[in-house]
Amino acid sequence: MNTPAKPQLIVIGNGMVGHHLVEQLVEQGATQRYAITVFGEERHLAYDRVHLSEYFSGRDAASLALSTSEYYAEHGIELRLHEAVTAIDRDKGEVITPQGRYAYDRLVLATGSYPFVPPIPGNDREGCLVYRTLEDLDAIRAAAETAATGVVVGGGLLGLEAANALRGLNLDTAVVEFAPRLMPMQVDSEGGELLREKIEALGVQVLTGRATQEIVDGEASRHRMVFQDDKVLETDLIVFSAGIRPRDELARDCGLEIGERSGVVIDDNCLTSDPAILAVGEVALWNNSIFGLVAPGYQMAKVAASTLLEGGETFRGADMSTKLKLMGVDVGAIGDAHGDRTPGARQYRFLDPIKQQYRKLVVSSDGKRVVGAMLVGDNSVYDTLLQYYANRIDLPEDPAALILPAGGEAAPALGPHALPETATICSCHNVTKGDVCASIDAGAVDLGAVKGATKASTGCGGCAALLKNLVDHELESRGVEIDKSICEHFAHTRQELYDIVRVEGIKTFSELVNKHGHGLGCDICKPAVASILASCFNEPITDAAHIPLQDTNDTFMANMQKNGTYSVVPRVPGGEITPEKLMVLGQVAQKYALYTKVTGGQRIDLFGARLEDLPAIWGELIEAGFETGHAYGKSLRTVKSCVGSTWCRYGVQDSVGMAIQLEHRYKGLRAPHKIKFAVSGCTRECAEAQSKDIGVIATENGWNLYVCGNGGMRPRHAELFATDLNDEQLYRIIDRFLMFYIRTADRLQRTSVWRENLEGGLDYLKQVILEDSLGIGEELDRQMQAVIDTYECEWANAISDPEKLKRFRSFVNDARPDPDIIYTTERGQLRPA
């Protein structure tokens, strides 16, 4: 008896949404019902367009790929890459390519969009390109090799991404935008002006309100752009990134219903006007809307898979809120960010011109709901505002508190218990709190199982912290004990291990694992225990008993770079350096051909040191009076300072002197994570102390102390902890604060995250440190003094021991340097090829 052939399902398009559709078809069992064929116009397998610009910074097509050809083969899906569908014959139920005709029973259009190129005379000149695919980026890279300047036409999200790419290719870059501001869809005039300032500070010229009339031959460059006011701009390279248009030509040519302006019309089931054909992603027009973000496309893919299997999923639109980082600048837009779609909407605005941060909160006319928000320069409150908006949570009595620093206090966060079942936890995969709870009820008993069941936090990963908090909360509420063991080798938390080491005086990993653990250890517990041992006893990390515990950076006391070389960062306390020492750094950099850069923490970083050269480099630096800067360790990194009262006419205290004192006091202190300090000589805050773990700001009466701030990936304002302190009071409070943090924080936990998870919050911390409510103040004092008294420069220790120096060679059995390290020259310095 012959088995009836499966119906033929063809998917046209293998972009992010097209591939996600395939994943949904596999997950929902469609491979058992359909014979599936996927056509991709590009030669590359589906790749991550969200991180496309990283292609210019070292990532290749393979690392950007979302899957493998083996995945398709494993599930019996025929993948035909580099084969464009040129027509659809609806009468015969076939798609046509240059290679042949293929029959279908059901068809899905996932053709995406194409970059819009304004109809400007001269837009097709050589060197006028677009920014959309890997092939486009290859063309831009090739054109940039013979160019000095580049212009991006379009100041939206993709335009700024393209500008950053040109900047990364060492071109003098400009952005030309027709609208009166950058990112006009996301930000208002105030936010746009601030965004402009931040982009221009990066060296990118911004021209807004400019309409290009034509592109002709240039005099000094290849092209001359002539604007509507007859002003001109010359450039060697032009990249058009002025928006996108749906790739609906296949649908248009075969007679499917098309929107008034463009896009394939679909219903709530993602069906087109032909019930045999569906459409998803940027080509689809739902309710007169095109969705240009990946998350709505993923939702459509899930609905389309359900429709193909006669399921009940429907597409009901999508939230277009976005959180971005463009050229290192945070931009966030939530809901009705402009407030022009909500009758009677009220707006709160906050602008910090010093820190260059802008926040706008749009609330309903009755003041009870968030209807929109806008953020430029600081996205730290985005997640909180999004939950208020998405879940229609009642606003606090003073809505402005959500966006105002209020003395350094962050916007009140919403715990998992406050979120309704419909709250979206993961927007990439449209996972709600209810979905997470359902997975736990179905048997998922840990974070990994929840991720596997729901796919939450497997996209961009931005929801990871919220997801973990929710899972822990839901498990605990069901009476499940949360295993907080540091790893499989120790049934203890980091804090418990710290207490065991301190109380029992255990000084080696082997003794600790023999007494309180089992096995040989792993990459989680070994560095954590190494940090604990260093915090408690401050023995050199290069000693034979400790070196096997260290990660690569601590092992070689230098940060490994992407080409296998290392960076050298000598300590420059408070940023103060003598001309003699400055010359030594230049001589060493010149001798060993090192790339030199002044860091944001007022240090001079020397990049490109070969492993075998590190001892010699440090030998010369130590002889000149330098010490290791611990840039490689989970320890004190820097104490940044302004010039203070020594030079500045506004300074009220000697901030440089205090910064140097603090750096020498805490240098070498090992902690769960890196620690950064700053000292400002007055309230103008030039050292940016309120974004540091420890921030000190001078007053007429002494020093104000701020704690638990953080820059970086998740910015957080530091909080005012104590005021008008003299020097000795300041030292004692910082001593106790740091030792209590080291004693109680989790592994790899910054002070900001530790503070947010600390039961009792800032008030509890003040009670412990300022009021000594636990009676441990003197013990914390003694522990810190012991660390201070036993300090030893780790590099000085290492180069004095011949046994320790044996580690510094690229190959164990060969003294030659690593032949795979290759350099090129850029701006007069070497960089990795």
- The position carrying tokens 């931009």 is 331
Instruction: Find where tokens 């974004």 sit.
Output: 691
Kindly state the helix (H) or strand (E) to which residue 662 belongs, with its residue range: helix 655-666
Phi, psi dihedral angles at 422 (to 5 degrees):
-85, -5
* 21 three-class SS: helix
CA nearest neighbour of 678 among 691, 668, 665: 691
CA distance 413 to 384: 6
Distances 606 to 87, 168, 588, 798 between C-alpha atoms, Å: 57, 20, 9, 19
Q: How many CB atoms lie within 10 A of CB 31?
A: 18
Structure tokens at 575: 């940023």
| 254 is annotated as contributing to ligand binding | no
Contacts of 383 (CB under 8 A, 6+ apart): 466
Written as six digits, the tokens of 66 are 């979302």
Distances in whole angstroms, Cα of residue 170 to Cα of each of 196, 255, 527: 20, 47, 39
Give the separation between CA 187 and CA 179, rounded to whole angstroms: 12
Q: What is the C-alpha to C-alpha distance for residues 533 and 491, in angstroms, rounded to an integer?
A: 18
CA-based nearest residue to 333, from 197, 464, 431, 191: 191
**Nearest-10 crossing angle of helices 727-744, 655-666:** 40
Count Cβ atoms within 10 A of the Cβ of residue 299 and give its class: 0-12 exposed, 13-18 middle, 19 or more buried: buried
3-state SS track over 55-70: HHHCCCHHHHECCCHH
- Residue 128 annotated as binding? no
* CB-based burial label for 155 (10 Å; 0-12, 13-18, 19+): buried
User: Measured between alpha carbons, how far apart are the two ends of the chain, in Å?
Assistant: 63
SS3 assignment, position 675: strand
Taking alpha carbons only, the member of 301, 304, 302 closest to residue 277 is 304
Q: Which residues contact 633 (CB under 8 A, 6 or more apart)?
A: 541, 553, 554, 670, 674
Q: Please name the residues in contact with 359: beta carbons below 8 A apart, sequence gap of 6 or more.
A: 349, 350, 351, 373, 374, 375, 376, 378, 381, 403
460 is in an annotated binding site: no
437 is in an annotated binding site: no
What are the binding residues for siroheme?
686
What are the binding residues?
642, 648, 682, 686
What are the binding residues for [4Fe-4S] cluster?
642, 648, 682, 686
